[in-house]
Structure formats: C-alpha cells, structure tokens
Amino acid sequence: MTSSLRARAEQALRACGAADDHPAADGELIARTPLDGSVLCRLNPSNPEQVSDAIDQAHQAFSRWRTVPAPQRGVLVRRLGELLTEHKADLADLVTLEAGKVTSEALGEVQEMIDICEFAVGLSRQLYGRTMASERPGHRLMETWHPLGVVGVISAFNFPVAVWSWNTALALVCGDTVVWKPSELTPLTAIACDALLRRAARDVGAPDGVHRLVLGPGPVGEQLVDDPRVALVSATGSVRMGRTVGPRVAARFGRCLLELGGNNAAVVAPTADLDLAVRAVVFSAAGTAGQRCTSLRRLIVHASIVDTVVDRLADAYRQLRVGDPTEDGVLVGPLIREQSWAAMASALERARADGGTVVCGGERLDRAGVYVTPALVRMPAQTEVVREETFAPVLYVLGYDTLDEAIALHNDVPQGLSSAVFTLDQREAERFLAADGSDCGIANVNIGTSGAEIGGAFGGEKETGGGRESGSDSWKAYMRRATNTVNYSDQLPLAQGVKFGG
C-alpha cells in the first residue's frame, strides 16, 4: 500500500504542475500519510534566508500589485478558480493522503476553494467605502479602502487548503500579496496549490511575487510573525500558538487575524426534531475524525430526553464505519498522528475519573495508522476535561433542566467558536441567538456546529481569537481605511465651529 500511496501523491503533484517542486531525497521535512503512517516524500524546509527572500519578493510585488485596479486583480483569482476546478480531483486526493479526510469531505474542501474564488471575484467590484455628511458647508466627508501589504498566512493541517484560499483569494483582490506557511504535516497540498496559483499569475500577467510558499516547522512561522514587512499575520492553530503570535505581532504594531481553538456545544431542547438532531450531531462530532475546529465536543440535552438521545446516538455511533477514507461507505478516517490518540486516551481517562461513562467508542483499531472509534461520553457535570478542547472524536453529553441553565453551561468554557440549538420553539431559538444567549462567533438553529458556508464571516470570540475570515465584510481585515475630507469651497470653516485668526 505504501508504494501505491506514494505514487498517487506523485501523480497528483505532477498533474498540478508541481512534480519537481521542492524535491529532496534526504530532506528533513517528512511528508507522511495518516492512512498508514508511511512516508510520501522528503522535502527541504525553508531556511531563514529563503523565508526572508520570500517576504522581500512579496513586498516588492506589492508595490506593483496595489496599483492594479481591483477588478483586474479579480482576473487572477478567477483564473485560479478555473485551475482549481480543473484539478479538483487531484487536490482532493492530496487532501485525503495528507489529512486523512474521506473522499467526499476532501472534494468538499476543494469545492470551498472554488467557491471563495467566485466570491472574491465578485468582491473585486464591491470594495465599497462610505460618503458621510459633513458638518461644514462645501465639504465632502468619505472613507476609502486601500491595500494593506504582505499577508502572512499560517494554516493548520485539518483544512490544509480551504483556509489558505479564504485568506489568499480575499487578500489578492484587496491588492495584497501573500506568503504562506502551511502546516508541516500537510506540505504537499500546499506545493500543489502554490503551483496552480503561480500558473494563474503567469496566465494573466500578474507580478511573479504575489504569492510565495515557505515550508517548515515553527521557526519558519516565527519569521513571518516578527518581520515588519508582513502587515497582517493570519494564523490558524491552537490557543497556545495564538498566545505567542498575538503579542509578538502587536509588539511591532502589526495586524493579527487569529483562528484558534473551539470547544463547541449544541443544546437539544425538548421540542427538537430528534431525527434531524441526531444526524447533525453525528456528523458534527465524528466527521473528519473530530479534527475540525468546529467539531461538536459538548452536547447539552434536556433531562426529559437525554436518555433517549444518548441511546439513539450510541446506535448511530456503532454503525459508523472507521477505516481507509478512500473506501466507499467509510465515514471516519484516521487521526493525523500518534499524539492525537494519546490526547484522546488521556481525556477519556480523566473523564472516567470525573465520574463519566464511556457509552461507546474510544477504542483504537489494530491496523497501520491511527484509527479510533468516536467516543460518546455521559458526564455528570462540566468538569475541567470537558472545558478543554481535545482535538479528536470525543463527545461529552450533559443534562439540563432550564434553558438558562443550558446557556450557562454552553458559555462556561474559554473558547467561543461555533454553537447550535435544536428546537422547534421559536422563543428558545431566538433566546439562544440573543445578546445573552450563545457567546460564540457562529450560532446556528437546527443545524450542526460544523460545515460553515463561505458567504458568512467565520471566526469566534474569547480564546478562539476574535478573527473573521471568508465572507461578509471579512475583506476589511486585509485593507487599510482612510478617512478623506474634500473642501470644494473657497472658505476654510473649521470643525466644531472653532475660530482661528481674524
């Protein structure tokens, strides 16, 4: 199987025009597949000089790219979208090989890239400013938006290409250039995407340095964080990473866009459509083997139905097929690496010590790679282990009596990314969405916590970092605002009626 997986990776890279990019027979950066833990290839990580050169090339290209009219910048992103569509299957195969996603999820991630390109192309003609009423006669007050500079993108393994595209498509139409540091666990998907974007730039005559790729572990990202030529650092990862990145970027007065941890919960009310709720919960909790930042980790169920819900979930969990994500019918692929299983096993041990009961799952399969059965855990209370994010398929179930109690439980965690309520009672739904309801950046009704669409702004509050990416007005993070006052009169009235001179 190892040789066939390696051959598939090479074929996909070759199809994307990246077969000869970054080769290294004895490179220190090892691209492995979680499907069986084998090595796909070895690469040379970027050294400090190469990272600095990449930033410099992007910085130089920015001086040209920012003056290109935004609709023309959109032509580059349109071409990228066309190439992504052409190579959708190739990229999806790399996503499966490197991140372990089942085929439909991998294809869905690439489709998300195509969708954000379409969104960004439309946005290139809608970078609107405002005109405001001036208090002074013969004056016009307005605001304009301008390109920001080099955007450093640091992405995580679980969405190895989609999150990059959210940032890059918007940054490019906003007039910025990009330096991308992907997860060291998923370098091949990044190499393929970089090759396609470089091809798109050649096809439309865009400056060569509008996008640069750098590879390697933490120190590579630290250069992006600390370099004053990088105007915005968009970083996706752990809360621990964010605690380092945020202050360091702020120390040089740069901008930061953080997408960090999520300990997402759903409330199941007595009026919920349980058929719908169970389907949504199973996908949100077990999809991508629980390795989404929006994965459902806590289920807060009304006491009158909690036993029924747990029984139905347990039945569904026992029917989930875990295994090779390329096989038909498999819904749960592997964890990314051994450390993920260690964290999951530790969390389950702590949950049992806190009085929890593992209803089903939580076992490792005897095969190459890290394959586990999603765990369903009944908890007597929201203990410390429940309040922590474990990046694995562990779902804790808690009971509640009143909606106020459910919302209090929901909000009593450090993270604030995604949330949901299942109810057919409009009052309960509106209460959950109100200012004193869910404290998350994403709050849903009768749909799970994962699977956000690109049209809405994506991100969360508290330890999730406060950043917003993708749709809505997230583009404003990639631009700088200027307030303009134009005096078209022959007088010089001062604001607030101030008098100066004779």
Residue with tokens 């991140």: 99
Q: Are 471 and 453 in contact (CB under 8 A)?
A: yes
- C-alpha to C-alpha distance for 231 and 210, rounded to whole angstroms: 14
- C-alpha to C-alpha distance for 235 and 181, rounded to whole angstroms: 9
Catalytic residue among 109, 112, 259, 389: 259
Residue 19 phi/psi, 5-degree rounding, is: -65, -30
Partners of 479 in beta bridges: 147
List of residues 6+ apart from 183 with CB closer than 8 A: 155, 156, 157, 160
H helices of 216-364, in order, are 218-226, 239-251, 274-286, 306-318, 338-353
Residue with tokens 């096993």: 345
Task: Reply yes or no on whether 10 is catalytic.
Answer: no
Helix (H, G, I), strand (E, B) or coil at 466: coil
Report DSSP letters for 409-431, one per residue.
HHH-SSEESEEEEE-S-HHHHHH
Pairing of strands 357-360, 375-378: antiparallel
User: Among 143, 141, 125, which residue's Cα sits nearest to residue 133?
Assistant: 141
As a whole number of Å, the CA-based R_g of the chain is: 24
* Count of beta carbons in the 10 Å neighbourhood of residue 349: 13
- Residue type at position 212: R
Residue with tokens 């078209």: 488
Q: Are 264 and 419 in contact (CB under 8 A)?
A: yes
- C-alpha to C-alpha distance for 368 and 346, rounded to whole angstroms: 21
Instruction: Give the DSSP letter of residue 296.
Output: E
Helix (H, G, I), strand (E, B) or coil at 389: coil
List of residues 6+ apart from 462 with CB closer than 8 A: 414, 415, 416, 439
User: Among 294, 305, 319, which residue's Cα sits nearest to residue 397?
Assistant: 305
Catalytic center residues: 259
